[in-house]
């Protein structure tokens, strides 16, 4: 790599199999452009926008480079200055009290020697928990003497030894059952530093299930926080809905495409009361997302459901969740169901009860994660 390197797409996305680790840089201006214009004094990035930017850059393994356009006197405008200072204070406040400091975790595998689990909460950058050479998946569990509110996590890999983690799930314990936290971002990579925002949970047990890694795990730091209640939204819009790729084997292909086109205005209608979803290969599955028909008639609304999974098309019978899409008739927004992560290729949705008794089920969008 050198200045003027022409393969700029590689610089943006990198190579998963590359042999060098490079820090990414997130280059942003406080204002709509790179120069000062008085008519943009009311378009300066707000504290909320800057805080969101921090989580999406610094919290995603990158450095944040914030540009301040100076005004015609060579000064930073007071609005820019105040928003930047309050942004800093806001991040400091959200990540003030590390709830995992000194908590001794339990792990499913440990290399031994100095690479023990307590290295992730000792506040020392150069100590890390490692698994044995052949072990590329493991669980680390934290327990508090009393339930805590939590909605942020910070994870770090010991980057001098490379970026390894390929997927993980953060789970909390609710009445003896492990459930994934609700978040609106992928949990695939960690790298130097990853910050996660998720819907507040109150729990005495938190765990991270590292499901896939390119080599044994080397994790040097894990922190958890309660940032207070913020305006972050953990329910995705149709165009932002993340999902594993899938097909609907029992539905006409053109019709099936309408629930996977990221377009809330197109709806796939399916006769009967079951829908089989094929992920093409086995995946770790922990949530089901369903955007109902968004036309003014909201056709084919499902009122009560049962979700099953399986590894063979003919035996999709392990029930992972059942319940009601409450208030779907009056408020047909994206419905999300979270359950204990399970390995499966097929997901079967059964409409146990429809809002209207006749007519097909309607799916504007579907997502499986």
Helices (H), the chain: 8-13, 47-57, 78-94, 253-257
CB of 205: closest distance to Ca ion in angstroms?
Answer: 21
| Least distance in angstroms from the C-beta of 100 to Ca ion | 11
Nearest residue (CB) to Ca ion, 300 versus 341: 300
Q: How far is the CB of 354 from Ca ion (least distance, A)?
A: 20
Kindly report the number of other CB atoms within 10 A of residue 160's CB atom: 12
Q: Which of 359, 340, 24 is nearest to 192 (CA)?
A: 24
Piece of 170-178, 188-196, 228-236, 265-273 that binds Ca ion (CB under 5 A): 265-273
Q: Comparing C-alpha atoms, which of 364, 145, 122 is closest to residue 264? A: 364
Q: For Ca ion, give the closer residue by CB, 127 or 167.
A: 127
- Shortest distance, position 123 Cβ to Ca ion, whole Å: 7
**CB closer to Ca ion, 37 vs 114:** 114
Q: Which positions from 198 through 257 interact with Ca ion, judged by CB under 5 A? A: 220
Closest listed residue to residue 91, CA positions, set 273, 250, 240, 227: 227
Choose among 289, 215, 283, 286: nearest CA to 259: 289
> Stretches 63-71, 210-218, 313-321, 360-368: which one binds Ca ion (CB under 5 A)?
360-368
- Per CB under 5 A, the list member of 143, 232, 255, 261 interacting with Ca ion is 261
Query: Which residue, 127 or 274, has its beta carbon nearer to Ca ion?
Result: 127
Q: Among residue numbers 98 through 157, which ones bind Ca ion (CB under 5 A)? A: 119, 122, 124, 127
Strand 318-324 with 302-310, pairing: antiparallel
Give the long-range contacts of residues 165-168, CB within 8 A, separation 24 or more. Answer: 165/189, 165/190, 165/210, 165/212, 165/213, 165/214, 165/217, 166/212, 166/213, 166/214, 167/210, 167/211, 167/212, 167/284, 168/208, 168/209, 168/210, 168/211
Range in contact with Ca ion (rule: CB under 5 A) among 25-33, 207-215, 259-267, 318-326:
259-267
Taking CB under 5 A as the binding criterion, the range among 82-90, 266-274, 294-302, 316-324 that sits at the site for Ca ion is 266-274
- Between CA 349 and CA 358, with CA 353 as vertex, the angle to 5 degrees is 105
* Shortest CB 263 distance to Ca ion, Å: 4
User: Minimum CB separation from Ca ion for residue 303, in Å?
Assistant: 21
Question: Which of 143, 263 has the CB closer to Ca ion?
Answer: 263
Choose between 123 and 280: whose C-beta lies nearer to Ca ion: 123
For Ca ion (CB under 5 A), the number of binding residues is 10
Could you tell me the CA-to-CA distances from 259 to 32, 290, 357 in Å, in that order? 35, 9, 22
Q: Which of 259, 319, 322 is CA-nearest to residue 292?
A: 259
What span, in angstroms and rounded, lies between the C-alpha atoms of 211 and 358?
42
- Residue 263 binds to Ca ion (criterion: CB under 5 A): yes
Shortest CB 158 distance to Ca ion, Å:
8
Q: How many residues does the chain have?
A: 369
- By C-beta, is 49 or 127 nearer to Ca ion? 127
Shortest Å, Cβ 321 to Ca ion: 23
CB 27 within 8 A of CB 161: no
| Cβ closest to Ca ion, residue 150 vs residue 222 | 222
Give the residues lining the site for Ca ion (CB under 5 A): 119, 122, 124, 127, 220, 258, 261, 263, 266, 364
């Amino acid at each position: 790599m050198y200045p003027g390197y022409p393969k700029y797409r590689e610089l943006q996305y990198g190579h998963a199999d590359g042999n060098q680790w490079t820090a990414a840089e997130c280059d942003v201006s406080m204002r709509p452009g790179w120069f000062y214009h008085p008519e943009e004094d009311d378009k300066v990035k707000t504290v909320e926008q800057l805080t969101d930017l921090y989580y999406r850059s610094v919290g995603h393994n990158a450095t944040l480079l914030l540009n301040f356009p100076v005004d015609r006197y060579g000064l930073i405008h007071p609005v820019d200055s105040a928003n930047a200072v309050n942004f800093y204070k806001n991040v400091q406040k959200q990540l003030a009290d590390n709830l995992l400091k000194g908590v001794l975790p339990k792990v499913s595998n440990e290399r031994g020697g100095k690479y023990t689990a307590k290295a992730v909460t000792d506040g020392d950058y150069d100590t890390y928990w490692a698994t044995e050479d052949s072990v590329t998946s493991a669980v680390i569990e934290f327990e508090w003497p009393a339930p805590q509110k939590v909605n942020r996590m910070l994870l770090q890999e010991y980057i001098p030894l490379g970026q390894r983690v390929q997927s993980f799930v953060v789970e909390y314990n609710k009445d003896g059952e492990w459930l994934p936290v609700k978040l609106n971002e992928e949990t695939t990579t960690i790298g130097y530093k990853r910050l996660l925002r998720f819907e507040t949970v109150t729990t005495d047990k938190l765990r991270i299930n590292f499901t896939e890694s390119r080599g044994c795990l080397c994790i040097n730091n894990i922190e958890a926080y309660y940032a207070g209640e913020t305006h972050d939204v953990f329910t995705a819009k149709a165009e932002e809905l993340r999902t594993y790729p899938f097909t609907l084997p029992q539905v006409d292909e053109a019709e099936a495409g309408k629930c996977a086109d990221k377009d809330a205005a197109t709806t796939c209608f399916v006769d009967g009361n079951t829908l089989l979803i094929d992920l093409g290969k086995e995946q770790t599955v922990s949530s089901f997302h369903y955007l109902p028909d968004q036309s003014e008639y909201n056709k084919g609304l499902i009122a009560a459901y049962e979700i099953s999974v399986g590894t063979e098309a003919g035996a999709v019978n392990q029930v992972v969740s059942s319940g009601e899409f409450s208030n779907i008739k009056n408020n047909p927004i994206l419905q999300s169901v979270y359950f204990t992560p399970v390995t499966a290729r097929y997901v079967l949705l059964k409409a146990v009860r429809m809002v209207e008794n006749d007519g097909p089920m309607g799916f504007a969008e579907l997502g499986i994660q």
